[in-house]
A and B are shown apart, each in its own frame.
Chain A
Amino acid sequence: MRPADLLLFAAGALRGHRLRTFLSLLGVAIGVASVILLTSLGEGARLYVTGEFASLGANLLIIIPGKTETKGLAPLVSTAPHDLTRQDAEALLQRVRSVRRVAPLAVGTASVSAEERSREVTVVGATHDILEIRHLKMASGRFLPADLPEAAVCVLGARVQRELFHGQNPLGRLVRIGEWRFRVIGVIAPRGTSIGMDMDEVVEIPVDTALRLFNRSSLYRILAEVGSHEDIPQAEQASVRVLRERHAGQEDITILTQDSVLATFNQILRALTAALAGIAAISLGVAGLGIMNVMLVSVSERTREVGLLKAVGVTYRQVVAVFLVEAAILSSAGGGLGLLAGLGAGRFLQRLYPEFPISPPDWAVPVALAVSCSVGLVFGILPARNAARLDPVQALTRGKA
């Protein structure tokens, strides 16, 4: 028998019951659409979170003064840690080859006032390179100058600017931070919601100025950006070595990387996507039962047709093939429809929430289609075998009017 004829014959049988065909097809379509849509959402969540981490800098080493011991005995002689200084940061940049940029940070809170308005604000002492490291963009003016670490200038976060100046142009105006006066040279573009420090809510001043303003000798931390992700372990070891040397042989710093956190999130969110796919797959199973039901009804309605087929010499295998192909057509057409619906719904959601990436993971589309086709084949086996096993004599004489 020619495959094309088999397809045509099966499709012809399905056309005979349009509503029933459509409904069982719809069951598969809903199953596939929900697999596509739910995995798209799960994958979107993963991409969103990892994207946010990357925007904080996935290639960052965060160096904090003081050693936090989480295991072993407490040291017998407790020594005060050495200060983490701008010279330390400079040494990292000079001596650790893979470190591309460093950003020494000094952070404190101070009251910031302009004219008669004032509020408490996180003041970040930084250098020019923080702009690149944190992927910041300027809304107006310029960022802290690279060559004047002690200048009395400041850059405002977007919300600070809005609250202090009410939309007036702040460039060139003076603000009071603590006891000192600073000239505003720039405003940072709003970032929106973001994991980590809210850059809309800070005022940035040169790092040396900040150390003197808060009367501190040690930096809050140093951010070191390495060239590529693979360099992180090597850069971490080298940094520890350099700083131990500079701190009289004492390892009194802690280095954090984004890596471990990111990997954990990645893992959790992948598991979430898989769980969502599993839940959606249940509906595919239910759709399979729907197909089986429809096929069983179809077989019992067409008992006499099966009897006739056997009488004209159609073999057992051919009868099985006819009903299996019918079930496969139902489920794969449903799968195709569901794929379109799922992708369409994804597009629609993407339009509603443009900042949230919605796209199915690479594996979802082929897996959903393969599963939906095999659903038809698996759940079609029982009805097809029932049909092929019919005794031709009984099948022909059953249901005589």
Chain B
Amino acid sequence: MIELTGVQRTYFVGGSPVYALRELNLSIASGEYVTIMGPSGSGKSTLLHILGCLDRPDSGSYRFAGEETARLTDVQLSCLRRDQIGFVFQFFHLVPRLTSAGNVELPMVFAGVPPEERRRRARRALEVVGLSARAGHRPDQLSGGEQQRVAIARAIVMNPALLLADEPTGNLDSGSGREIVNLIEAMNQGGLTLIVVTHDPTIGERARRHIHLADGVVVSDERPAALTSRPGGHAGEKGLA
């Protein structure tokens, strides 16, 4: 599903180049559960943004579902994000003036989904994340965990193939963090490809595949088979945040 070959991304900070990603090769199959870990500045956020088509590589190739993304126009990339990719962010990024239902409906509003269908699908998505009772609340009336669950409902409401989570528990207490991780893992079990960026090893170890980045290159890519059968195992007890 995801094929990165020789991906390079360089920023210029104060005139000197910063190599965020260097000749990175990576392929992820459909339905996988991958965590990307590494210290600050290792390039993991840059990688996530490129995977989510929010950023483009300077060189190298990124094929999404067989399609070379470098050849897509901005509008086509927007459609790809809209239909194929869901994002969950550390700071939730809910629109403060909209209710939970309104926030979940947002991608559908801009996709031109008729209001009746929008309401039905938003209600369904909020049910999935267990927030039906909070549909009419605005973000400032919700706890952090609830806000993140609204964000997850928004990320899945367009039925994407890929869910990208950037430090999804980074701003939550351990209890809420555990619930969030359980929620997105459940979606992965439903067939959704899940990629989580985190610097928290307890979350990182839960995935079936761990990728460690340092200085813009993959330093390890492990598939500890032992853990695949026990999601929610020992990691929960140690606390997440």
Contacts and interface: CB of A to CB of B under 8 A. Distances in A.
Answer yes or no: do A and B interact.
yes
Interface of A: 1-2, 5, 9, 12-13, 15-16, 304-305, 307-318, 392-393, 396, 400-401
B194 to A, nearest CB: 17
B87 A311 contact: yes
Interface string B106-120: 110111101100000
A310 B112 contact: no
A1 B78 contact: no
B110 A309 contact: yes
A396 B49 CA distance: 11
B154 A312 contact: yes
B112 A2 contact: yes
A313 B110 contact: yes
Interface stretch (B27-35, B90-98, B179-187, B218-226): B90-98
B54 interface: yes
The 8 closest A-B pairs by CB, nearest first: A313-B82, A312-B107, A313-B81, A315-B78, A308-B93, A392-B54, A16-B97, A314-B110
A309 B111 CA distance: 11
A13 B97 contact: yes
Contacts of A396: 54, 89, 93
14 contacts: A1-B111, A16-B97, A305-B95, A307-B93, A309-B106, A310-B54, A312-B107, A312-B158, A313-B79, A313-B80, A313-B158, A314-B82, A392-B54, A393-B54
Given A2-B112, A312-B107, A400-B91, A393 B55 contact: yes
A15 B75 contact: no
Interface string B64-82: 0000000000110011111
A59 B82 CA distance: 74
Nearest to A319: B110
B3 interface: no
B200 interface: no
B44 to A, nearest CB: 13
B21 to A, nearest CB: 13
A400 B82 CA distance: 24
A86 B107 CA distance: 92
A9 B52 CA distance: 25
Contacts of B107: 312-313
Contacts of A9: 109
Interface of B: 49, 52, 54-55, 74-75, 78-83, 87, 89, 91, 93, 95-98, 106-107, 109-112, 114-115, 154, 158
Nearest to A313: B82
Nearest to B84: A313
Nearest to A5: B109
B173 to A, nearest CB: 16
Contacts of B95: 305, 308
Given A1-B110, A311-B87, A313-B111, 4 more contacts: A5-B112, A316-B74, A393-B54, A401-B91
Nearest to A4: B115
A311 B52 contact: yes
A308 B151 CA distance: 11
Contact of A393 (B49, B74, B158): B49
B97 A12 contact: yes
Given A304-B93, A393-B54, A312 B112 contact: no
Given A16-B97, A310-B78, A1 B89 contact: no
Contacts of A315: 74-75, 78-79, 110
B106 to A, nearest CB: 6
A298 B80 CA distance: 28
B54 A311 contact: yes
Contacts of A2: 112, 114
A131 B106 CA distance: 77
Nearest to A400: B91
B106 A312 contact: yes
Contacts of A12: 97-98
A281 B114 CA distance: 41
Contacts of A1: 109-112
B172 to A, nearest CB: 14
A317 B54 CA distance: 16
A83 B51 CA distance: 106
Nearest to B92: A308
A309 B81 CA distance: 10
A312 B110 contact: yes
B69 to A, nearest CB: 14
A318 B93 contact: no
A15 B96 CA distance: 12
B52 A15 contact: no
Given A392-B54, A393-B55, A313 B74 contact: no
Nearest to A17: B97
A313 B78 contact: yes
A307 B92 CA distance: 12
Contact of A312 (B82, B91, B96, B97): B82
Contacts of A401: 91
A12 B97 CA distance: 8
Contacts of B106: 309, 312
Contacts of B154: 312
A391 to B, nearest CB: 8
